[in-house]
Every structure is written in C-alpha cells, then in structure tokens.
Amino acid sequence: MARVVFGWLFAVLVYFFFNNSLLSQLQQPVLVYPGSDNTFWLLHILDVPQFLLYHYTAALAFDILLTCSCIICVVLPQQRLFTWISIIGVWILYIAYCSAAGKHYAQIGYLLAPIPFLALRAQKFDLLWNLFRYWVCFLYVSAGLYKLYYGGFGYDQNMSHILVQENAEWFIFNKTGLQHTVIGWLIQHPGFSQWLYRGAVLTDLALITGFFTRRFDKWLLAGLLAFHLGNLFLLHISFVEQSLIFAPFLPWQQWAERLQINNSDD
Amino acid sequence: MAAQLFFMAKGIENIPFFLYHMYGQVHPRKDSTAVYLVKTKEGYFNHKKLSSREQEMLLNPVIYYANLKKDGDGTVETVENRFGSVAGAQTMAYLQKQLGNDSLSLTRFPGWWGNYFRLVSKDAFDSVSVVRSYVYSKAPYHKAAADSLSFTVKLR
C-alpha cells in the first residue's frame, strides 16, 4: 500500500516536473503571497518559502531531496525517515508554490494521503488511514454545505454564470468543437446547468455516508471521479494533485487478499 | 475537529484546516469578465494550451501583481491588526518585510514573469506584453477590442 501511495505521489512530482512546477523550475519568483493563513505566515516569518524561491541551488537541492525521498519510500516502505522528509517536503512545496503563484490552491490530496504512513504500528496506521478517509469526506461534505449556506445551490442561474465567467479566457482561443458546444449549450440553458450544479452538491453531501459505512465506497469513488471529470471538462480544473483523495475509497483489502499481502507497508 | 470548526466559523483558512467554499457563493450576472492576456507580435498567445499548473504560475501572479500595484494586498493592515498591540516597531518592520512585497520586488516582477514565460511558451518572441481586457458574457463571447497594458518585457 505504501508503495502504491508513494508511487502515486512520485507520479504527481513527475507531472510537476514536466509542467515546470517544481521549485527549481520557477525561475526564482519575486513576489510572495502569504495571504491571511497563519501557517503560511509562520513559514514566511521563518523565511522558508523565500529561501527556496529566491535561491536556485537551494530549490534544486530541495527538489532532488523530495523526489529521492519519495523513491526511497517506494523501494523501502518500512523506513520512516524519508517518509517524514517526503511529507514535510510536499507541504513546503505546496506553500512555496502557492505563495509564488499568488493564490492558495485547494488541490491538496497529495498533502494528506502520505500522512498515515508515518505510523509505526499497524493499529495506528489503520487509525490514521481512517482519519484521512474522514478528512476527505468532511472536506467534500463541507463543500456541499457551503454551497447551500452561501446560496449557490438555490440561485437558479449560478452554474450558467460560473461557466461564462470561468471560461472567459478559454472562449477567446476555442471557438468550435464538442467541448465548446456543450459549455455554450449549458450557458444557454441555465435551468439544466443549475441541476448539474445541484447534482455536484448532492455528490459532495453524499460523502457523509463515508462516516458511517464503507459499503458504498465504490459509489463514493465513482461520484468523486465524476465530480472531478465534470470540473475538468466544464471548468478546466485539473485534479492530478487532488487524485490521491481517491486512495481511501479503493478496495485495498480485496487487493491485498488477492495478492496475499498482510502488511500496509508492503 | 474543534480547530477545523473554529476556523470555519471564523472564515479563515489555516492549513491543514482547509475551507472548501469555492463556487459556493452566488455568482451574479456580469456583462463582461476581466481577463489577462499575453500579446505578441503574432497575436494573443494561447496560454490555455499550457497545463493548469503553468497557466496558474503564469497568470495568477499577474493578477496579484496588478492588485498590489493598485491597492496593496492588505497584508500591512492585517499585520497591524494581528500584532500591532503586542509587537514593537522593530518586530513590526520585520513582519512586514517577511510577509509583504517591497517596491523592488514589484519592479523586478516583469523580468521574472518574462523568464517564466520564455520557459513555458517555448516560442522565441523578441518581446511580449501582458494586457487586461474583457470578454462579453453574451454568445459568441467576444473579447472587447480595447486592451489596457500591464507591462511589456523584452525576451531577447
């Protein structure tokens, strides 16, 4: 299991590399954006993101250390030192990247999934893995509740307006094609598009079942996948980094039994 | 859990206590949407063909830079609010230096942006400009004819 999750994390880092998003590839950004987040503030006061963003050699050493740690976690899942380094590394990468990009992103799956592997005993791992699962359920349920509370659910034109505003730049460069036709049609039919939005809210809220039972995990996984594919198609929101939130809904037990594996480290 | 609920009630994000409220608000109708574009000698550079990560790193800092130049980002005021009553003048100056962006950073921004653009665009432009414009909300979603210049950078 550790091998799969850290292999997945490694794939995310490779994706970052090929998309010029590792710290050493950012060309030493000059602006920082700590926002009003206290954790960002703490790291900026300690000069951590600035040091990595402004010094190419430090950023390169950080990228190499993080990537190698991740590979070591795949090859030697029993050790804990590089698990710690990988986890601290991805959190620092997230904070430094968001600070340089001028926006704090919600794509956080790759930050949460490796945490349970810090556990030294199987019982503790099970507890942390369940907590990770509850954390994901909570985030999506809260997303659904926010859409109810802030009025997005009830406003009958909301999705249509979101589509117009979020696709404004995209429309300049994309004048034809299936995706253009679908997005354009949804904008012109606000009633239908708003029901898509409400469907997404119901998918978010459906994750509340994850707190009580694992029986519907495959449906929750399918719902999450459909939700993110919909976001990708209609709003161009990639979910490569976020994809690790699918991990707690995968049938690990069945796979382990099939492969006759007992230890979560394996 | 208590901390998560506390920060949700306060409406402040403090990672790892994330607030997932994106797209939750009512989006009122707008006649047009502001956009930032990269203008080259051959027309507008299609940044939408880049990956999400590259688009984020290329154009979000431009919005942040424009806001900083216009009104600041409120960091100075937030530092004052949070620490003004407990921190001395020296500490306040240090906090503002660590958490804010000085005029030198703003001056150097177009140069940094040009370097990152050169890396992701893989095209050899002599110089490019970043402009702000609008896209109308009515089909066929045309861009307004007028652009306002943010900055121009020489790439060669």
ipTM: 0.91
Give CA–CA dist A200/A206, Å, rounded. Answer: 10
Q: Which residues of A233-261 are buried (b: 16+ CB within 10 A; e: fewer)?
A: ebebbbbbbbbbbbbbbeebeeeeeeeee
8 Å CB contact of B53 and A157 = no
* pLDDT per residue of chain B (156 residues) written in tens, 0 to 9: 777 777 777 777 788 788 888 899 999 999 999 999 999 998 999 999 999 999 999 999 999 999 999 887 778 788 888 888 888 888 888 888 889 898 899 999 999 999 999 999 987 889 999 999 999 999 889 999 999 999 999 988
8 Å CB contact of B64 and A102 = yes
Identify whether B18 is part of a domain.
no
Model confidence at A106, pLDDT cuts 50, 70, 90, reads confident
Identify whether B68 is part of a domain.
yes
Give CA–CA dist B152/A65, Å, rounded. Answer: 37
Identify whether B13 is part of a domain.
no
Mean pLDDT, residues A35-62? 94
8 Å CB contact of A147 and B141 = no
Identify whether B110 is part of a domain.
yes
Mean pLDDT, residues A139-166? 94
Q: Please, what is the Cα angle at B88 between B84 and B94, to 5 degrees?
A: 90
B51: which 2 tokens?
A: 């990956």
Q: Please state the domain count of chain B.
A: 1
Phi then psi for residue A174, to 5 deg, are -130, 105
Nearest to A12 by CA among A112, A123, A118: A112
Identify whether B133 is part of a domain.
yes
Q: Please, what is the Cα angle at A46 between A88 and B103, to 5 degrees?
A: 120
Q: Nearest C-alpha of chain A: how many angstroms from B132?
A: 11
Of all residues in chain A, the percent with pLDDT exceeding 70 is 98
Identify whether B25 is part of a domain.
no
In sequence order, which residues have a C-beta less than 8 Å from that of residue B67 and are 6 or more positions away?
B73
Q: Which helix (H) or strand (E) holds B148?
A: strand B148-154
Identify which of A138, A152, A165 has the shortest CB distance to residue B33: A165
For residue B20, the model assigns a pLDDT of 83
Interface check B7 vs A, CB under 8 A: no
- From the CA atom positions of chain B, what is the Rg in Å? 20
For residue B32, the model assigns a pLDDT of 95
Q: Nearest C-alpha of chain B: how many angstroms from A71?
A: 23
For residue A266, the model assigns a pLDDT of 61
Interface check B68 vs A, CB under 8 A: yes
User: A187-198, pLDDT tens digit by residue?
Assistant: 999 999 999 999
8 Å CB contact of B44 and A172 = yes
8 Å CB contact of B99 and A44 = yes
Interface check B132 vs A, CB under 8 A: no
Identify whether B38 is part of a domain.
yes
The H helix count followed by the E strand count for chain B is 5, 4
Contacts of B139 in chain A (CB under 8 A): 184, 187-188
Domain span at residue B119 reads: 31-73+101-154
For residue A16, the model assigns a pLDDT of 96
For residue A265, the model assigns a pLDDT of 61
Contacts of B106 in chain A (CB under 8 A): 31
Residue B134 bridge partners (DSSP): B34
For residue A220, the model assigns a pLDDT of 95
Identify whether B36 is part of a domain.
yes
For residue B9, the model assigns a pLDDT of 77
